[in-house]
Structure 1
């Protein structure tokens, strides 16, 4: 039985089915995203959404959707579904759905009278092409299928309105047509595995609505162009494949291409397999290198997100080579920045001050997956170079103070992951000594020492770095640990920020922490009481007057709320690390129970993945980007750590017998 399977009762209930979304990507920046009933509810939804480097490197919706119609005895039964007003849906094709199954590929089963039709969708890896396979499982009389393509040709964050500037021409190609609505866009090729009849019948479909955008307080209505329809007969037991792409394909290869793509799929038959499948959706490979996308449907590559996600999305799923390829691309970009001041075109926000620190943390996870020797041989000089770049003031907006701590100016613009801002000004102006920056710094120094400890040629250098690390440890405790037993979020001169925030979890979750076990436990207890939820750590304690647990409202309201209470799953990875540091293998049971909260999300939101954030209060509804790399990565990393500790516990039990 499939892990991700929804029956007729749920599918025909739009209140239950519309909030559930699905995502497939080509691992090169293009994607297909919609709801499980095929009704687009966001402007970023679409059947074929691709980046266009020649224009702006942003995602663009070419093919918004494809309406299928079953024709028997001259009677049409339209399987499409669009929203045209609040509570107004047409043509209500969801009422024919009998089942949705997403174990291997998204598969919808329709029943129209005596007709049973299945629809399976596959996005082809590293090609701007989606294939949809239609199979007529049952039919008692001659059957035809019609297909109406809804075209957008727009930026995924914009909306289309009826206009006279579109190019309505279509050109015949083998088993289909090509079209391009506006100059600068690539041609869209729509083809079938067998010859269809094309009927040119151009119309605007006005007033298509996206309720998710309406709820976000942003424009939500658009007009879509339908240039006509395809029609072709289908026999019982026959399969027909539809292809939408930015190049003309050979219809004779559709079946082989479809079957080959299936062999690379991770069947989503468990919590782990769902996350593994999701992790690989974030991969981005192009001529410049290999990357991890921050999330879908509206993020590109962002340096901090990539580094946070990297260990979980590669090493935790046994993709060591992918870690090495992505890290190689990243280190080259970081080197260009530190040496020449050149910012990478693909990796956004690489010039933020904490990026070198997160780079070392990601490399540290590589050692945990391999060995100190292998890590030193591959990345030792990179770690050493980054530490020296920080010590010598080569990192933008990151200064080493005489007390060994790092300072950064976050008053004018955000410098940390708490990056909410209005008109460019940070809502939370974290500046001066920033908690996680200095926890990462101490951890980086200790990690560097551990890599070169015992190396005869590095004895003096190790002693030098050890002296600096001791100074950092002493200053860290004196600066951040307060009389209440927890850690200030940031300290700027005489100002100490008393808000209880989850950056404490990062500080105590490091492999090397400036705090001793007793101090860690005290901080951990406070985090557990005030910040821990089944969906991650709250970004602010509910005891704070500024607490806003729900990420809703217009853009400004959401910007004020985003870091003032909603929970984030990625922070649970550091909480689990800290928990294991304090309790060892005896803490596995508790962490396993907490992971159930994330497993529950596999059938909610974007099925098989994790949303960007969750409300800080029950029922902890998912919000923001539907699928987020650092959330998926950190839960995968935690699952791997739990598995390893369970093995250790089993070995200890057997040895004690």
Structure 2
């Protein structure tokens, strides 16, 4: 059985911040929280920490234990600090990364190895799956005896913000074997000594690059102390939120349990090779369980659940990994959010929003793929009334001008100030990518959705309903209006007003869905794909806009507004590689060479995972979330073709 590919680095990466501080690891807890940091140990984001807790929902996370800095007193009496921090003036102190001999991510568990002459110390970190808890183990590998001190730097704040010494310090209460911080989380370990001081002006260099506040203050809550006399002895520290009187298993067994669980997740997915195994383990990070059942985190470290991302990712996260029973629960729960024929998009912004034209259509696709893969006709019968309601509302018209055009059966959408497609970036309330009208991928999804409802109706012996007439009309309308010169497809046709016309022949990758969905309205052509690839394709996936087109942005960098302007105007989106590979598959061709390009990326940014986006210009430096659900899901799905 294939296992996840180990990712290892030596001192040339670990001890150089330019290398080690740009490679990030993630340990998810299965309920929306995580531990996250860099290979070098430097916290470069406000989101980095050892205990990040999903407070009620994955969208409302709070940072607790920021770091646990090892200080080693060697047999010679020398005191060596193994932590690493950057300060507001750019100084790096201490510089424990310089002593790193190596880093390894094996079976999803990160391990650091420091060499201090004859003394070698290792650290491993794992989450306790199913609860907001983290286990941290330090092991003496050689040399000794040593005195090990572990300094706990803490906060309790919204993960998207900062906390400073301008306000009151976190309340810390000493308890047996540790302390409780803000009555919100507890840290347990050996020989606790209370602290009590601010570490001021800790700098997060990545937030500065993103045009955001880059400093915060951390509270020194105290330290743990233990003597490790001989190789093999360990120091165990646990931190957890929730029921503070219900400790997780000791850190050593918890790390071992996490490793075994991760191996079981991979084995259940039955991967064909180590890359599929690595992606199956990466996919597990996004599947979480909340009070409402299974859900999907769109990306770490800052996203919660978004229905568009969830449904786009569904086939890869649940069907390609043999998790259809969890997927079934998720589909049923999401069906319960339908309103006026629309699936709730997200609650990340504080309230439930219904503001996407494509998320609901991806839901139709996800249900269809689930039933086709599992033979779950009971689910088809249960959800068909809701699916028919979706069709009926879209035919009659629903929010934001979303509705089928009676003249051609195609779906149009648009409202002032709204960005309803996946290209949804706005600056100052104005959509960056104007796509009001009849977008090509929306209508590919619409036709695919209508055909899915017809297929499920026939499968279950149910009356076909309004989709029976709507589907052939929409197909005919697509065939008449979307073809562009040279075999390409127009990105957007018409507008919601009376003077409909072909308005947007710009070269974008959205047309890939019209060639790759199960009930795609068009057939791909190899020469056309080659022509598209010559301008859009990069090693990390297609660009969102061809170089040379008006408004092309080759760098996804800068302030939030600058990044939003570039988000869909040239930035690379790895998730679209899945559609490209599927289009090739429909022609009887292999997409394996295309999919192979991502393999090197698995050790470059979010370790063992695939990033949200990348620069359009070479060398296509990764941007956005380093761990993104639909990027992983679509690569995993396409590899199963």
State the TM-score, normalizing by the size of structure 1.
Answer: 0.88
Q: Which residue of 2 aligns with 1:482?
A: 484
What is the Cα deviation at residue 392 of structure 1?
Answer: 3.7
> What are the equivalent positions in structure 2 for 1:492-531 lying under 5 Å apart?
492=495, 493-494=500-501, 496-515=503-522, 517=523, 520-521=525-526, 523-531=528-536
Q: Could you tell me how far apart the structure 2 residues matched to 1:225 and 1:457 are?
A: 63
Whether the 8 Å contact between 2:10 and 2:102 is mirrored in structure 1 is yes
What is the Cα deviation at residue 443 of structure 1?
Answer: 1.3
3-state SS of 1:224 partner: strand
Q: Which residue of 1 aligns with 2:41?
A: 38
Q: Deviations over 1:75-130 (max 9, x none)?
A: 21111000115652111111221111111211111111221111111111121110
Change (3 A) 1:292 1:456: closer
Q: Which residue of 1 aligns with 2:149?
A: 146
3-state SS of 1:333 partner: coil
Q: Could you tell me how far apart the structure 2 residues matched to 1:28 and 1:143 are?
A: 37
Change (3 A) 1:627 1:75: same
Q: Could you tell me how far apart the structure 1 residues matched to 2:616 and 2:125 are?
A: 35
Q: Deviations over 1:217-238 (max 9, x none)?
A: 2210122111332222122121
Whether the 8 Å contact between 2:294 and 2:329 is mirrored in structure 1 is yes
Q: Could you tell me how far apart the structure 1 residues matched to 2:459 and 2:188 are?
A: 64
What is the Cα deviation at residue 385 of structure 1?
Answer: 3.6
What is the Cα deviation at residue 401 of structure 1?
Answer: 1.4
> What are the equivalent positions in structure 2 for 1:329-348 lying under 5 Å apart?
329-334=333-338, 337-338=339-340, 345=347
> What are the equivalent positions in structure 2 for 1:428-439 lying under 5 Å apart?
428-439=433-444
> What are the equivalent positions in structure 2 for 1:343-362 lying under 5 Å apart?
345=347, 349-362=353-366
Q: Which residue of 2 aligns with 1:306?
A: 310
Whether the 8 Å contact between 1:367 and 1:374 is mirrored in structure 2 is no
Whether the 8 Å contact between 2:72 and 2:147 is mirrored in structure 1 is yes
Whether the 8 Å contact between 1:353 and 1:397 is mirrored in structure 2 is no
1:3 to 2:10 alignment: no
3-state SS of 1:149 partner: strand
> What are the equivalent positions in structure 2 for 1:14-25 lying under 5 Å apart?
14-25=17-28
Q: Which residue of 2 aligns with 1:388?
A: 392
Change (3 A) 1:187 1:455: closer
Q: Could you tell me how far apart the structure 2 residues matched to 1:628 and 1:454 are?
A: 34
Q: Which residue of 2 aligns with 1:205?
A: 199
> What are the equivalent positions in structure 2 for 1:429-468 lying under 5 Å apart?
429-453=434-458, 458=463, 461=464, 465-468=467-470
Whether the 8 Å contact between 2:70 and 2:149 is mirrored in structure 1 is yes
Q: Which residue of 1 aligns with 2:373?
A: 369
Q: Which residue of 1 aligns with 2:16?
A: 13
Whether the 8 Å contact between 1:333 and 1:343 is mirrored in structure 2 is no
Q: Could you tell me how far apart the structure 2 residues matched to 1:179 and 1:373 are?
A: 50
Whether the 8 Å contact between 2:28 and 2:34 is mirrored in structure 1 is yes
Q: Could you tell me how far apart the structure 2 residues matched to 1:388 and 1:110 are?
A: 63
**Residue ranges of structure 2 left out of the alignment (5+ in a row):** 267-272
Whether the 8 Å contact between 2:155 and 2:163 is mirrored in structure 1 is yes
Change (3 A) 1:190 1:454: closer
What is the Cα deviation at residue 324 of structure 1?
Answer: 1.0
Task: Give the stretch that moved more between structures: 425-434 or 380-389.
Answer: 380-389
What is the Cα deviation at residue 66 of structure 1?
Answer: 0.9
What is the Cα deviation at residue 457 of structure 1?
Answer: 5.7
Match of residue 83, structure 1, among 77, 82, 86:
86
What is the Cα deviation at residue 526 of structure 1?
Answer: 3.3
Match of residue 171, structure 1, among 171, 174, 180:
174
State the TM-score, normalizing by the size of structure 2.
Answer: 0.90
Q: Which residue of 1 aligns with 2:269?
A: none
Whether the 8 Å contact between 2:88 and 2:215 is mirrored in structure 1 is no
What is the Cα deviation at residue 396 of structure 1?
Answer: 5.6
Q: Could you tell me how far apart the structure 2 residues matched to 1:604 and 1:454 are?
A: 45
3-state SS of 2:598 partner: helix
Whether the 8 Å contact between 2:82 and 2:96 is mirrored in structure 1 is yes
3-state SS of 1:326 partner: helix
1:137 to 2:141 alignment: yes
Change (3 A) 1:465 1:327: closer
Q: Which residue of 2 aligns with 1:262?
A: 259
3-state SS of 2:597 partner: helix
Whether the 8 Å contact between 2:610 and 2:628 is mirrored in structure 1 is yes
Whether the 8 Å contact between 1:210 and 1:220 is mirrored in structure 2 is yes
Change (3 A) 1:304 1:339: closer
Q: Could you tell me how far apart the structure 1 residues matched to 2:632 and 2:341 are?
A: 33
Aligned pair count? 618
Whether the 8 Å contact between 1:109 and 1:117 is mirrored in structure 2 is yes
Whether the 8 Å contact between 2:133 and 2:248 is mirrored in structure 1 is no
1:156 to 2:184 alignment: no
**Residue ranges of structure 1 left out of the alignment (5+ in a row):** 181-185, 642-657
Q: Deviations over 1:36-83 (max 9, x none)?
A: 1211001111111112239x9521111111101111243211110001
What is the Cα deviation at residue 607 of structure 1?
Answer: 0.5
1:566 to 2:560 alignment: no
What is the Cα deviation at residue 378 of structure 1?
Answer: 5.9
Q: CA RMSD in A?
A: 2.6
What is the Cα deviation at residue 187 of structure 1?
Answer: 2.7
What is the Cα deviation at residue 382 of structure 1?
Answer: 4.2
